[in-house]
Structure 1
Amino acid sequence: MSVSATAPSPLAAPARTRPWVRFGLRRLGRLLVSLWVLVTASFAMIHLIPGDPVRGALGPTAPVALVEARRHALGLDDPITTQYLHYLKGLFTGDLGTSLSSQLPVVDVVSQRLPATLLLAVFAFLAAVVVAIPLGVAMGVLTRRGHGRRTELAFTTTSIVVATVPDFLIGVGLVYFFGIRLGWLPVAGNDSASAYVLPVVSLAIGPAAILARIVRVEMVGVLEADFVRTARAKRLPARTIYLGHALPNAVTAALTLGGLLLSAMVAGTVLVENVFAWPGLGSTIVQSILTKDYPVVQAIVLVYGAGVLLTNIVVDVALALLDPRSTIRED
């Protein structure tokens, strides 16, 4: 056999990278279009709200001259197309405007509150994953092949009930029981590590119940797959079968749902932060709506929307890395 017959083709490597390049370009294109829609929608939403934000911020007794001067300084008396172009320019230059209430740059307001919201959402997501995956795997093992009917019924019923209770209502219950009745944990602020417990639990318990159900269903299906039967025929240890073979295949669907749950958790911080007086974006946006501080509201809506879009992109890339065939199937 000649050497040229066995040598790899120089076109093999570029051919393997083409699906990834197309995959990346598609995702980037969708992200850019989605961001443009988000920016335009947030701009339109604020300008369609009835009322004068400057008058609302300065109060009903403010002189007309002061209101007009403030409107001119903020560019609110310009044509709507001019305001839109200025808004787009500000996004590219990092200028999101000025808060009508505090007169601080909106970028400073958001940057001060964003870390608290991110920490709350990330800790809640990690807590949900740490609880849901082992619980779902255990329930899948216990209820496979029709075994453990009562266990399956109790788990399914409990998880449905827990998942349907709003997170802010769970937070109110936790505040009353662990904060007021027992006095074990603080119920406001984020000044200590213990202050994270109740907000994280109230935000994580519902998604954990949903994720555990998905993991259980996937685990039951994977345990009946041919490769698991082959592993059992080889007398492999149960730990190797469940954790080494079944679990990686069962968490693929859970990863997809996990990304959606993380997006929902970020959005869910709005209500939870207000229950626990958490100094994040959620409590800030509610306060800004009440005071009609629309530049701050607009910026926070953009941050939440961009966070959801970026989370979905990260999930898509993670799934593609776990299953590279998905990049080819889209072609």
Structure 2
Amino acid sequence: MASTGLLARAGSRDMLPAARPWAGFAVRRLGRLLVSLWVLVTASFLMIHLIPGDPVRAALGPTAPTELVEAKRRALGLDEPLPVQYADFLRGLVTGDLGTSLVSQLPVSQVVAQRLPATLVLAGLAFVLAVTVAVPLGVAVGVLTRRGHGRRTELAFTTTSVVLGTIPDFLFGVALVYVFGVGLGWLPVAGASGASAYVLPVLALAVGPAAVLSRIIRVEMVGVVEADYVRTARAKRLPDRTVYLGHALPNALTASLTLAGIILSSMVAGTVLVENVFAWPGLGSTIVQSIVSKDYPMVQAVVLVYGLGVLVVNTLVDVALALLDPRSLIREA
């Protein structure tokens, strides 16, 4: 019994050093997330106050009676001192009250809840498509062009990926609308009614990032397949599938995961323009309409949601990198 207790205590002591890097990592990432979140919230609050002019007057129009403008300002709390408004803004965020739209008179949180799912589905489908295409394509081209082989394949792949990666999402979307919507009439070009309506906007968001990601994966794959552990695996006469997918691919993806997180963040931001090209009923089209109509509470809320999405994606990428490469915890500590 005594020996069992000694073993248990020894095992617990061995577990403590392994847990410390993760504890430090969690504290650092949580602190960074909270600071970034505070900066985002404060910036979105100040946005409505830094815009020249009176946002209520701008939203109601120059011919609106002064009494109506003042009543609207009091209703929104814009006649209070700035610290009081900031405290009310933070209190509203905690309770889910993002204010009231100056145009529709609906709660901003209600509009965001209605429009957010369409944006998330669009960005999510585009990201899945980009990764599904980029990973096998980058791996295949990387294997074919290792050690200087396949010069023509490398040139064709690099040229095509660079061209597709530099075309803006909205411009590619316009081209898709013209070819497949207006010219051929195969697919709908507006709205989100039916599965076919997803094809063009998802392609518009996914093609460029897929080209960039596949090029990076190809470069990483070319370097990884020449590593000592891969040569050792080949020397053991392991099947090519085991060598490339089991040994080389995980290490190539570790280096590419950070870029994948950046791509996902850019996709979320890219929905703003793409949604307006395809009249998509999401937050992207909502923020443009709100800017045009000077509906500043709505703009404020949508900016906050987009910023929060980017912060969450970056945090998830950091966690995924730490899971794939725990040694980074020790180096960072």
Give me the TM-score of the superposition, normalised by structure 2.
0.96
For 2:188, what is the secondary structure of its paired residue?
coil
Q: State the partner residue of 1:98.
A: 100
Question: Which moved further from structure 2: 167-176 or 253-262?
Answer: 253-262
CA distance in 1, matches of 2:79, 2:201: 42
Specify which of 111, 114, 118 is matched with residue 112 of structure 1.
Answer: 114
CA distance in 2, matches of 1:270, 1:253: 29
Note the C-alpha offset of 1:215: 0.5
The 5 Å alignment of 1:200-239 reads: 200-239=202-241
- Determine if contact 2:92/2:99 at 8 Å carries over to the other structure: yes
- Determine if contact 2:142/2:222 at 8 Å carries over to the other structure: yes
- Determine if contact 2:73/2:79 at 8 Å carries over to the other structure: yes
Specify which of 296, 308, 316 is matched with residue 314 of structure 1.
Answer: 316
The 5 Å alignment of 1:211-290 reads: 211-290=213-292
CA distance in 2, matches of 1:239, 1:19: 34
Q: State the partner residue of 1:42.
A: 44
Q: State the partner residue of 1:153.
A: 155
Note the C-alpha offset of 1:143: 0.4
CA distance in 2, matches of 1:211, 1:24: 28
Specify which of 318, 324, 332 is matched with residue 330 of structure 1.
Answer: 332
Name stretches of at least 5 consecutive residues in structure 1 with no aligned partner: none
CA distance in 1, matches of 2:287, 2:269: 11
CA distance in 2, matches of 1:206, 1:264: 11
Q: State the partner residue of 2:14.
A: 12
CA distance in 2, matches of 1:253, 1:113: 34
Q: Does 1:293 align with 2:302?
A: no
Q: Does 1:128 align with 2:154?
A: no
The 5 Å alignment of 1:35-74 reads: 35-74=37-76
The one-letter amino acid of 1:169's match is L
CA distance in 2, matches of 1:103, 1:190: 25
Identity of aligned residues (%): 74
The one-letter amino acid of 1:233's match is A
Q: State the partner residue of 2:87.
A: 85
Give me the TM-score of the superposition, normalised by structure 1.
0.97
CA distance in 1, matches of 2:12, 2:302: 50
- Determine if contact 2:287/2:302 at 8 Å carries over to the other structure: yes
Deviations 1:145-198 (A, max 9, x none): 001112111111111111111010000000000000100000001111010000
Name stretches of at least 5 consecutive residues in structure 2 with no aligned partner: none
Question: Which moved further from structure 2: 12-21 or 295-304?
Answer: 12-21
The one-letter amino acid of 1:185's match is L
Q: State the partner residue of 2:304.
A: 302
CA distance in 2, matches of 1:285, 1:318: 31
Q: State the partner residue of 1:178.
A: 180
Deviations 1:103-125 (A, max 9, x none): 11110010100000000000000
CA distance in 2, matches of 1:25, 1:283: 37
Moved over 4 A (4+): none
For 1:78, what is the secondary structure of its paired residue?
coil
CA distance in 1, matches of 2:135, 2:266: 18
